Structure 1
Amino acid sequence: RGQLPPFHSPPGFLPQLRDKYGPVFTVHLGPRRVVVLWGYEAVKEALEDRADEFSGRGKLAAFEEVVQGFGLLFSSGERWRQLRRFSLAALQDYGPGKRSVEERIQEEAGRLVEEFQKTKGSPFDPTFFLSRSASSVVCSIVFGKHFDYADESFLDLLAKTNQVFVHLSSTWGQLYEMFSWVMRFLPGAHKQIVRDLEDINSFILERIKENQASLDRDNPQDFIDCFLLQMEKEILNPATEFHLRNLVMTAFNLFFVGTETVSSTLRYGLLILLKHPEVEEKMTQEIDRVIGRSRMPAVADRSRMPYTDAVIHEIQRFSDVIPMNLPHTLTQDTHFRGYAIPKGTEVFPVLSSVLQDPSRFRDPESFDPGRFLDEQGHFKANEAFMPFSAGKRICVGQEVARMELFIFLTAVLQSFTLKSPVPPRDIDLAPHGGGFVHGPPCYQLCAVLRGNGSQTKEERPKDRPQGTAGAPPNHTPPAT
């Protein structure tokens, strides 16, 4: 057992407890007793082999005051099962003739390339560009609406979303997580988290009202439309989970997590490529060979691009943006690896300990795409690759996130050579912030337009590999 100090990034402190107590141990977040699972074997056994027992959802104090157990992300039991089943089905098929998730991502990738081009090769911080792109994809899927990049309400929404993650990873945020029962009555930066979350929910509620006013029951356009139709179907069911409160919170879950996790991974990915220009060069060569420069990258290209696939996997493994995972709870009294753990106990299956498990990834602290390639250069999967968690609580948006990472990164490298204002050897890859989320340190890059056939979005033909454009989407929703 150990008392987790608030001024340390948990993944940096917990290995000491693992060395002392083994892969299953207890820590205290203030008065809260939680069980930590460390390493691939323990996490896999809990989340996959004994998925039912570990499928409950724990609480995060900063969200609880606003969420209160509603929505997909922080619900458990029958509510969670119904919302998850619906979310997967609804976002796989909006109906015939609708734009696929892939097409929505390609559209945003084109806008991202245009925004990069406006920098004219001068140094810039890509944070805001990438946040807008990731958020715009989620807005298109959930709200059916693309917000102009200059839209004040959209910019305010992005700023509040980013600020929540900043506060969650701050000392104030970690103290609030441990001592919320006291700190909710005290002033401090933690109070801003709740205010920002309430503002985000107010924005979402306004969008829902717009959808209610324009709803075409024969032609649902987005996730909210689908949910509203399900609410109408179950209006006479007093026990229904399809009501406005769950809709607001589920839309909030999809938007909030789907924006920040993808944009943080993209930011880390570009920084890593600046640090390793030889990796960028190999990716660019593969992009030119497989895709060329006359059309937008498509998901179907990925299977023919093993090196790019390996790089993206390694970016996700190395960046480790949600190191602690979201807390789980036990749904029943359980005996696990020699320990009797009562029902309701909070459990943290630490994803960082899996993605950096030296028994599964040789020299895990180094960036090496080769670990995902075999001797013939073909892509090689690794069962310990769990950036989206695992088991019944695996991120429902993993496929959308994978599509975004592939299309955004390849579209950027298709059009630009990335240059760093500082020598690659001086680039620091150490994560910024601790606790809930890992983000890269602040940096600038230069996006130099490639010559010899590089084309802007307007100049690109609309063609895509056969079988991708216009086909019924076979994908899942944004990360939750």
Structure 2
Amino acid sequence: MMTPIQTGVGNVISHLVFGGHFNHNDPRFKIMMDAFESFLHHASTGSLVSFMPLLRFVPGDFFGIKNITKKIQLVKDFVNELIEEHVQKFDEGNIEDFIDAFISEMNKQNNGENTIFTKEYLTAIIMDLFIAGTETTSTTVTWASFYLATRPDIQSRIFQEIKENVGSERLPSMQDKQSLVYTEAFIMEVLRMSNIVIFSVPHAPVTDVWIRGFHIPKGMQIFPDISSVLSDPAVWGDPENFRPERFVSEEGTLLKPDEFIPFFTGRRNCLGESLARMELFLFISALVQRFELMPPEGETLDIKDVDGIFGGTHAPKPFYIRAISRHANEMI
């Protein structure tokens, strides 16, 4: 089931890739987003087959491989349909989005130029953008909503910072990021605490490597344990506590420790980090500017009640919050 957060984040990717956004009730968009959600929530069991391929021959569909394959095909069909629409209306003099730019390069094959730009490659790239860029960001915003609703003092401080530096007449923009230090520190602490991709994604060395006496053969898959860094007491002191202040210096500037690696590190870190951090800042700052988030009336929320869904991402269990408009005093 799609949430407003998922559809909002998904439409950011849609605008970049397809040159427009989808209505939240668009049946094609709903099929694609539901497929991504189902695929990622089955990823924890499906990934076992990556380590032990023989498991795919187990009778039935205990590991969800058939379901995952079906979902992937649904997404491929949808993406290929949109690519074909772009091919039919393509105008070299009017490049409007990522698909148009890719088709322009792809057409160079017709001129005898050597290129890796193919429809199959374009489909794969678009699926990667949506799978990696939609679920991860929407999951982080969902975690942020939980921490805002359960820590009113932190939410109040973020709101005051936005009120003083942005006001309420316009939405926050990327130009406001430098002045919203505590807001950015809050987002960094959400990324550290939620740790949504605990083992990053598989990496592999291109040559044999020796590290601290351990031999890693060429091509060997490595799953980095990001959690061991983001929750290391030697680095953070009190890693179990949600404390955005750890990222703010005494002078009031933003601190960026080398150990802060929610997007991994090095030359093979997450390609979508810049887009994700931009989306997180705009979504979360606008959310706090417009709404006050609270637990359901007469109820409490605790981390032990929502923590625990491990699939393609570390997502919270479903929970309810109240979103009260700061301007119209209406509950959403």
1:434 corresponding residue in structure 2? 310
SS at match of 2:315: coil
SS at match of 1:348: coil
1:324 corresponding residue in structure 2? 199
Alpha-carbon distance in structure 1 between the residues aligned to 2:213 and 2:112: 44
Amino acid at match of 2:319: Y
Alpha-carbon distance in structure 1 between the residues aligned to 2:268 and 2:170: 36
Q: CA deviation at 1:398?
A: 1.1
Amino acid at match of 1:324: F
Amino acid at match of 2:144: G
The one of 53, 56, 66 aligned to 1:180: 53
Q: CA deviation at 1:359?
A: 2.3
SS at match of 1:146: coil
Alpha-carbon distance in structure 1 between the residues aligned to 2:46 and 2:7: 25
Q: Deviations over 1:224-244 (max 9, x none)?
A: 111111111244558531111
SS at match of 1:349: coil
SS at match of 1:226: helix
**Shift in alpha-carbon separation, 1:436–1:241, aligned structure 2, 3 A:** same
The one of 310, 315, 328 aligned to 2:190: 315
- Asked if 2 retains the 8 angstrom alpha-carbon contact of 1:174 and 1:435, the reply is no
Q: Deviations over 1:50-92 (max 9, x none)?
A: xxxxxxxxxxxxxxxxxxxxxxxxxxxxxxxxxxxxxxxxxxx
**Shift in alpha-carbon separation, 1:237–1:388, aligned structure 2, 3 A:** farther
1:358 corresponding residue in structure 2? 233
Matches within 5 A, 1:122-141: 128-141=3-16
TM-score calculated relative to the size of structure 2: 0.92
Alpha-carbon distance in structure 2 between the residues aligned to 1:364 and 1:180: 37
- Asked if 1 retains the 8 angstrom alpha-carbon contact of 2:194 and 2:314, the reply is yes
1:157 corresponding residue in structure 2? 32
Alpha-carbon distance in structure 2 between the residues aligned to 1:128 and 1:435: 18
2:277 corresponding residue in structure 1? 402
Aligned alpha-carbon RMSD (Å): 2.1
Amino acid at match of 1:279: I
TM-score calculated relative to the size of structure 1: 0.65
Alpha-carbon distance in structure 1 between the residues aligned to 2:227 and 2:57: 29
**Shift in alpha-carbon separation, 1:185–1:221, aligned structure 2, 3 A:** farther
**Structure 1 residue ranges (4+ consecutive) displaced by more than 6 angstroms after TM superposition:** none
- Tell me whether 1:444 sits opposite 2:317 in the alignment: no
Amino acid at match of 1:180: P
SS at match of 2:11: helix
Q: Deviations over 1:76-112 (max 9, x none)?
A: xxxxxxxxxxxxxxxxxxxxxxxxxxxxxxxxxxxxx
Matches within 5 A, 1:239-254: 240-254=115-129
- Asked if 2 retains the 8 angstrom alpha-carbon contact of 1:136 and 1:147, the reply is yes
Gaps of 5+ in 2: none
Q: Which has the higher contact order (CA 8 A, sep 6+)?
A: 1
Q: Deviations over 1:440-466 (max 9, x none)?
A: 1210111111138x99xxxxxxxxxxx
Identical-pair percentage: 32
**Shift in alpha-carbon separation, 1:211–1:267, aligned structure 2, 3 A:** same
Q: Deviations over 1:171-216 (max 9, x none)?
A: x424433333332563213310111011111111111001111212
- Asked if 1 retains the 8 angstrom alpha-carbon contact of 2:41 and 2:311, the reply is no
- Asked if 2 retains the 8 angstrom alpha-carbon contact of 1:388 and 1:395, the reply is yes
Alpha-carbon distance in structure 1 between the residues aligned to 2:93 and 2:305: 50
**Shift in alpha-carbon separation, 1:128–1:425, aligned structure 2, 3 A:** closer
Alpha-carbon distance in structure 2 between the residues aligned to 1:337 and 1:427: 37
SS at match of 1:157: helix
SS at match of 2:3: helix
**Shift in alpha-carbon separation, 1:419–1:180, aligned structure 2, 3 A:** same
Amino acid at match of 2:40: F
Alpha-carbon distance in structure 1 between the residues aligned to 2:33 and 2:192: 26
The one of 256, 260, 263 aligned to 2:131: 256
**Shift in alpha-carbon separation, 1:191–1:346, aligned structure 2, 3 A:** same
Which deviates more from structure 2 when the two are superposed, residues 425-434 or residues 278-287? 425-434
- Asked if 2 retains the 8 angstrom alpha-carbon contact of 1:432 and 1:440, the reply is yes
Aligned pair count reads 327
Matches within 5 A, 1:200-279: 200-236=75-111, 240-279=115-154
- Asked if 2 retains the 8 angstrom alpha-carbon contact of 1:323 and 1:436, the reply is no
